[in-house]
Amino acid sequence: MTTITVKQYVMLLTAEHIVTAASRMTPDRAFGGSPYSCSPIARIYCADGTSISVQAHAGSHCKFADVDCEGPFSWYASTFGKDLVMAETDCEELNQYGIDDIEDIEKYVESHGGIDFEATTSHAVETAIKALEPYKRRRH
Protein backbone atom coordinates (compact mmCIF):
# COMPACT_ATOMS: atom_id res chain seq x y z
CA MET A 1 0.00 0.00 0.00
CA THR A 2 1.27 3.45 -0.87
CA THR A 3 1.00 6.08 1.84
CA ILE A 4 1.19 9.84 1.74
CA THR A 5 2.83 11.99 4.40
CA VAL A 6 1.33 15.14 5.86
CA LYS A 7 4.04 17.17 4.11
CA GLN A 8 3.27 15.57 0.73
CA TYR A 9 -0.47 16.09 1.21
CA VAL A 10 -0.10 19.77 2.13
CA MET A 11 2.37 20.47 -0.67
CA LEU A 12 0.24 18.68 -3.27
CA LEU A 13 -3.03 20.39 -2.40
CA THR A 14 -1.49 23.82 -1.86
CA ALA A 15 0.31 23.55 -5.21
CA GLU A 16 -2.97 22.57 -6.89
CA HIS A 17 -4.75 25.59 -5.38
CA ILE A 18 -1.98 27.88 -6.63
CA VAL A 19 -2.06 26.42 -10.15
CA THR A 20 -5.84 26.73 -10.28
CA ALA A 21 -5.79 30.33 -9.03
CA ALA A 22 -2.97 31.24 -11.44
CA SER A 23 -5.00 29.88 -14.37
CA ARG A 24 -7.67 32.50 -13.60
CA MET A 25 -5.42 35.56 -13.21
CA THR A 26 -2.49 37.28 -14.79
CA PRO A 27 0.14 39.34 -12.96
CA ASP A 28 -1.29 42.56 -14.43
CA ARG A 29 -4.83 41.65 -13.29
CA ALA A 30 -4.12 40.16 -9.86
CA PHE A 31 -5.33 43.27 -7.99
CA GLY A 32 -2.34 43.21 -5.67
CA GLY A 33 -2.74 39.55 -4.86
CA SER A 34 -1.01 36.46 -6.09
CA PRO A 35 -2.06 32.88 -6.73
CA TYR A 36 -0.30 31.99 -3.44
CA SER A 37 -3.04 33.87 -1.57
CA CYS A 38 -5.16 30.77 -1.92
CA SER A 39 -7.84 29.30 0.24
CA PRO A 40 -7.33 26.60 2.88
CA ILE A 41 -6.93 22.97 1.84
CA ALA A 42 -9.07 20.07 3.04
CA ARG A 43 -8.65 18.59 6.53
CA ILE A 44 -6.66 15.45 7.14
CA TYR A 45 -8.54 12.54 8.74
CA CYS A 46 -6.54 9.98 10.71
CA ALA A 47 -7.13 6.24 11.02
CA ASP A 48 -8.66 6.70 14.49
CA GLY A 49 -11.12 9.38 13.26
CA THR A 50 -9.15 12.38 14.55
CA SER A 51 -8.98 15.25 12.07
CA ILE A 52 -6.53 18.11 11.73
CA SER A 53 -6.23 21.15 9.51
CA VAL A 54 -2.68 21.74 8.23
CA GLN A 55 -2.16 24.86 6.16
CA ALA A 56 0.70 26.40 4.17
CA HIS A 57 -0.97 29.21 2.20
CA ALA A 58 -0.17 32.92 2.32
CA GLY A 59 -2.68 33.56 5.11
CA SER A 60 -1.28 30.93 7.46
CA HIS A 61 1.81 30.63 9.60
CA CYS A 62 4.27 28.57 7.56
CA LYS A 63 7.89 28.39 6.53
CA PHE A 64 9.71 26.82 3.63
CA ALA A 65 13.45 26.02 3.79
CA ASP A 66 14.00 27.75 0.45
CA VAL A 67 11.94 30.93 1.03
CA ASP A 68 13.19 33.90 3.04
CA CYS A 69 10.92 35.04 5.87
CA GLU A 70 12.04 38.35 7.33
CA GLY A 71 10.49 41.26 9.14
CA PRO A 72 7.47 41.51 11.43
CA PHE A 73 5.59 38.82 9.52
CA SER A 74 8.40 36.25 9.64
CA TRP A 75 5.98 33.41 10.38
CA TYR A 76 4.28 33.89 7.02
CA ALA A 77 6.18 32.67 3.96
CA SER A 78 6.27 35.34 1.28
CA THR A 79 5.70 32.73 -1.42
CA PHE A 80 5.36 29.00 -1.93
CA GLY A 81 8.54 26.93 -1.73
CA LYS A 82 9.80 23.43 -2.40
CA ASP A 83 10.57 22.29 1.16
CA LEU A 84 7.89 22.86 3.82
CA VAL A 85 9.47 22.92 7.27
CA MET A 86 6.74 24.52 9.43
CA ALA A 87 2.98 24.84 9.09
CA GLU A 88 -0.11 26.03 10.94
CA THR A 89 -2.64 23.61 12.42
CA ASP A 90 -5.83 23.86 14.44
CA CYS A 91 -4.56 21.18 16.82
CA GLU A 92 -4.87 21.97 20.53
CA GLU A 93 -2.08 19.49 21.34
CA LEU A 94 0.28 21.40 19.06
CA ASN A 95 0.61 25.19 18.76
CA GLN A 96 -3.01 25.79 17.74
CA TYR A 97 -3.13 28.49 15.03
CA GLY A 98 0.56 29.14 15.59
CA ILE A 99 3.35 27.32 13.80
CA ASP A 100 4.82 23.84 14.25
CA ASP A 101 7.69 21.85 12.75
CA ILE A 102 6.35 19.57 10.05
CA GLU A 103 8.04 16.66 11.85
CA ASP A 104 5.95 17.35 14.97
CA ILE A 105 2.79 17.46 12.87
CA GLU A 106 3.78 14.18 11.19
CA LYS A 107 4.35 12.57 14.63
CA TYR A 108 0.93 13.78 15.83
CA VAL A 109 -0.81 12.31 12.78
CA GLU A 110 1.14 9.04 13.12
CA SER A 111 0.13 8.84 16.80
CA HIS A 112 -3.47 8.73 15.55
CA GLY A 113 -2.80 5.93 13.06
CA GLY A 114 -1.62 8.00 10.11
CA ILE A 115 -3.65 9.55 7.33
CA ASP A 116 -6.79 7.66 6.37
CA PHE A 117 -6.70 8.71 2.75
CA GLU A 118 -10.10 7.23 1.95
CA ALA A 119 -11.80 9.17 4.77
CA THR A 120 -9.82 12.33 3.95
CA THR A 121 -10.83 12.12 0.30
CA SER A 122 -14.45 11.35 1.16
CA HIS A 123 -14.73 14.38 3.45
CA ALA A 124 -13.04 16.62 0.85
CA VAL A 125 -15.44 15.45 -1.87
CA GLU A 126 -18.48 16.03 0.36
CA THR A 127 -17.22 19.53 1.19
CA ALA A 128 -16.74 20.27 -2.53
CA ILE A 129 -20.26 19.04 -3.34
CA LYS A 130 -21.71 21.30 -0.63
CA ALA A 131 -19.68 24.23 -1.93
CA LEU A 132 -21.26 23.77 -5.36
CA GLU A 133 -24.86 23.76 -4.05
CA PRO A 134 -25.42 27.50 -4.73
CA TYR A 135 -24.41 26.96 -8.37
CA LYS A 136 -26.82 24.10 -9.19
CA ARG A 137 -29.19 26.24 -11.21
CA ARG A 138 -26.42 27.70 -13.35
CA ARG A 139 -25.53 26.11 -16.67
CA HIS A 140 -21.94 25.15 -17.46
Per-residue pLDDT, 70: 67
Backbone angles phi, psi at 37, to 5 degrees: -80, 55
Within 10 A of 60 (CB to CB), how many other CB atoms are there?
20
Q: What is the pLDDT of residues 12-52, one digit of tens each?
A: 999 998 888 888 777 666 555 777 877 789 999 999 999 99
Backbone angles phi, psi at 33, to 5 degrees: -95, -175
Q: What is the pLDDT of residues 104-122, one digit of tens each?
A: 999 999 999 999 999 999 9
Q: Which residue has the higher pLDDT, 81 or 138?
A: 81
Q: How far apart are the first and last CA of the chain?
A: 38
pTM for this predicted structure = 0.86
- Tell me how long the chain is: 140
Structural domain spans, the chain:
6-132
Q: What is the pLDDT of residues 69-108, one digit of tens each?
A: 765 666 778 788 999 999 999 999 999 999 999 999 999 9
Residues in contact with 106: Cβ distance below 8 Å, sequence separation at least 6, in sequence order: 5, 6, 7
Nearest to 14 by CA among 69, 72, 60, 70: 60
Nearest to 55 by CA among 78, 88, 7: 88
